Amino acid sequence: MSDVKARFKELAELWYEETAVLSNLNKIIQHKAYKEIIEMGWDVVPFILDELEEGPALWGPALRAITGECVTVAAKDQGRIGVVGAAWVKMGEEKGWRKARA
């Protein structure tokens, strides 16, 4: 496992663990581990997409911060983390964001 992947996994675990009981979106995405993941930049995008394939999680803001992109979902699906996550995975596949996988 690459150093980047190992660090991402470590930070993601910490983030999941420490935000599991939170309902405030701002507190969840302002967590120190989440911010550090964003600071890792493009190298972690493939790993975030992997996480989204495993199940819904609030990775959209991180992907938006890293890639500068936004996904579009139907109005009825806005706020549905699983649907938004699937849209990110699809965009990532279409744009080749996984080719740099470590």
Parts of the chain with a pLDDT under 50: 102
Can you give the pLDDT at residue 102?
A: 46
pLDDT value of residue 67: 97
Q: How high is the pLDDT of residue 98? A: 85
Give the pLDDT of residue 75: 95
Domain ranges of the chain: 3-95
For residue 69, the Cα-to-chain-centroid distance in whole angstroms is 13
pLDDT at res. 1: 64
Neighbours of 86 (CB within 10 A): 17
Instruction: Output the pTM of the full model.
Output: 0.92
Distance CA 12, CA 27 (A): 15
Contact 60, 85 (CB under 8 A): yes
